[in-house]
Structure 1
Amino acid sequence: MDLRAPLRRLEIFCLVVDEGGVTRAAERLLVVQPAVSAQLRALEKSLGAVLFARSGNTLALTEAGERVYVWAKEVLAGCAQVQRDVDQLAAGQAGSLVVHASMAVGTYLLPPVLTALRADRAGARITVHVGEPAVAIRAAEVGSADFAVTTLLDTPTPETLTSTRLWEEPIVLGVGPNGPAVGESVSLAEIAAMPLVAAPQDVAFDRMLRAQLQRIGAPELDVIIRLGHAEAIKQAAVENGWACLLPSYIIANDPPGRLRGVPIRDAHLVEGIGLYHRPTKYFSPLQQAALDALRARGRERAAAG
């Protein structure tokens, strides 16, 4: 039985839902709109149900469509996982782990944990992809990642995934030798008077940080420039005598005399580190070992904190 046609229809159906309409889905697929519409009609005919209802200028899922969407996501994720497993067996490979992570988590937190794991497993193949949390979570959702580790988002977790808070990382003020003069700790009022380097406003970390500051009624910050990577933020702060608000782990390994982390004495600001995966995901021994190592790391960080 050739399953490629029905699976392709499910992929197109999910893409239409995710992109919010046929037009954007067709643009993503580089095909004309009628081709996408034809696949949707074929899927509806095979299922014997109407999946979409038009609401103004947009398409809305019917009750049947919502049920099929959840099922289709699980089918496609399972297919992706099985294909990866079969490919590994066919190539004589054993022990594969693919993780997607947010930028700072994948740059600073995961490498020590996963390199230690790899050192004990000569045949393991471990890959970490780094990007925005939404991209990482999407990879876990569609099965191209075994799991995702990101800044814990304050938005609802997709129904097809489960999320766990692994641990929290304190957010501190980063200042260089030529930066604002501060002591062993600093207040929010003092920070508000400093020129700051920050992440772009559409980045999950910045959204999470601003939400915490708003909840505690903190004064508005004086952001001079926004840069898209922690290393760029740190470099700009050091070279220009500015400051920055970052999780402590990003600053911890900086050379002496470059950037130091100063605790905030009148606020408890943290970055939650979140684990995302499908609840039905089968974890191989290597993948389970990676999860165990991350949870152990979380317990260590919590105890240190």
Structure 2
Amino acid sequence: MLQLQLRRLELFCTVVDEGGVTRAAERLHVAQPWVSAQLRALDKAAGAPLFVRDGRRLALTEAGRRFYSWAADVLAGSSQVRRDIENLGAGLAGSLTVATSMAIGTYLVPPVLTELRHERAGADITVHISEPAAALRKVATGDADFAVATWSDELDPESLHAERLWEEPLVLAAAPDGPPDGDTITLADLATLPLVGVPAGVAFDRTLGDQLRSHGARELTYVMRLGHAEAMKRAVAANGWGCLAPSYAVADDVAAGRLRSVTIRDANLAEGIGLFHRQTKFFSPLQDAAVAMLREVAASRSDAAGGPDRDT
């Protein structure tokens, strides 16, 4: 009985997300009449119509909007409970699933979770790497315990708790023998260099653009846009180009002599690092420990940068 009710809630949310019964039925691989019958059953159970017809599409009523918010939270919670029960049945010491944005998931989060795994030998730890918006969706649906992602004012965390952990300075990563000549550069000179950028429209690109405009800097042009920091760094080193990157992403390459770190002397460009989780999320001891370790990293990096930058 419980499984049927959860199935109906999943179906209802799918109809809302897909914008109609036909597309929802296709996505769930079920017959359209069955979907319509389940929606009628939900209308009856709710005691009010959840949809109204708006031309060729279905639109949520006020009751439907409230029901959708509740149903999404129930489904996210049930996903979490299922994972917890599966892990208990498997005899694991605990599970942790983290969603991250690209560079953060490549360079920042793995060392923290590796240390945690050494402390808790039975832990089952998974990291999903994607764009910030996709990482937040995994948290909202209960497929991840929390997300660590690039902070962007354009992100809509919906019902998620959002905590700004720290600000990571951006530097110009340059080839050892490439431009510029010195270890510092101005924004005006930066705009004259051959630069590699991230794909247009991603969170890092938007926040960088906002910061440049706030400094009155001209728009940067790119010889190429690449979707991952490793590809960007390789292109820089091989071609004598440059790229703007958070300092954590280039630290190992600078130490090994593969790249140079050039400071932008007339602007403090930075990437905000955010922690996101559901408001009603119950953290296990393992998950609590992971969050505590991330906050320790935030405190140490904020201190190194000259003061705390965190806010909630």
1:1-305 equivalent positions in 2, closer than 5 A: 2-31=1-30, 33-254=32-253, 255-305=255-305
SS class of match (1:163): strand
In structure 2, runs of 5+ residues without a counterpart are 306-312
In structure 1, runs of 5+ residues without a counterpart are none
Question: d(CA) in 2 for partners of 1:147 and 1:197?
Answer: 31
Question: d(CA) in 2 for partners of 1:203 and 1:127?
Answer: 24
Q: How far did residue 11 of structure 1 move?
A: 1.1
Question: d(CA) in 2 for partners of 1:202 and 1:36?
Answer: 36
**8 A contact 2:98–2:145 mirrored in 1:** yes
1:173-231 per-residue CA deviation (whole Å, 9 max, x = no partner) reads 11002322231211111111111111111322112212222233210112111111100
SS class of match (2:296): helix
**Range 172-181 or range 19-28, more displaced:** 19-28
Q: Using a 3 Å threshold, how does the CA distance of structure 1 residues 182 and 9 change in structure 2: closer, same or farther?
A: farther
Q: Using a 3 Å threshold, how does the CA distance of structure 1 residues 242 and 130 change in structure 2: closer, same or farther?
A: same
Q: Counterpart amino acid of 2:257?
A: G
Question: d(CA) in 1 for partners of 2:35 and 2:187?
Answer: 53
Q: How far did residue 96 of structure 1 move?
A: 1.2
Q: How far did residue 121 of structure 1 move?
A: 1.3
**Range 170-179 or range 150-159, more displaced:** 150-159
Q: Using a 3 Å threshold, how does the CA distance of structure 1 residues 201 and 156 change in structure 2: closer, same or farther?
A: closer
1:9-28 per-residue CA deviation (whole Å, 9 max, x = no partner) reads 21122223233444543443
Identity %: 61
TM-score, structure 2 as length reference: 0.91
Q: Counterpart amino acid of 1:183?
A: G
SS class of match (2:75): helix
1:93-118 per-residue CA deviation (whole Å, 9 max, x = no partner) reads 22211111111111100111111111
Q: Using a 3 Å threshold, how does the CA distance of structure 1 residues 57 and 224 change in structure 2: closer, same or farther?
A: farther
**Range 197-206 or range 12-21, more displaced:** 12-21
Question: d(CA) in 1 for partners of 2:173 and 2:261?
Answer: 5
Question: d(CA) in 2 for partners of 1:37 and 1:60?
Answer: 14
Q: Using a 3 Å threshold, how does the CA distance of structure 1 residues 217 and 95 change in structure 2: closer, same or farther?
A: same
Q: How far did residue 57 of structure 1 move?
A: 4.7
User: Aligned residues, how many?
Assistant: 304
**8 A contact 1:172–1:264 mirrored in 2:** yes
Question: d(CA) in 1 for partners of 2:162 and 2:141?
Answer: 15
Q: Counterpart amino acid of 2:212?
A: L
Question: d(CA) in 2 for partners of 1:261 and 1:33?
Answer: 58
State the Cα RMSD in Å: 1.8
Question: d(CA) in 1 for partners of 2:211 and 2:198?
Answer: 15
TM-score, structure 1 as length reference: 0.93
Q: Using a 3 Å threshold, how does the CA distance of structure 1 residues 215 and 29 change in structure 2: closer, same or farther?
A: farther
Question: d(CA) in 1 for partners of 2:274 and 2:214?
Answer: 21
1:56-88 per-residue CA deviation (whole Å, 9 max, x = no partner) reads 554332211111111111111111111111111
SS class of match (2:283): coil
Q: Counterpart amino acid of 1:276?
A: F
**Range 89-98 or range 38-47, more displaced:** 38-47
Q: Counterpart amino acid of 1:267?
A: A
Q: Counterpart amino acid of 2:228?
A: H
Q: How far did residue 146 of structure 1 move?
A: 0.9
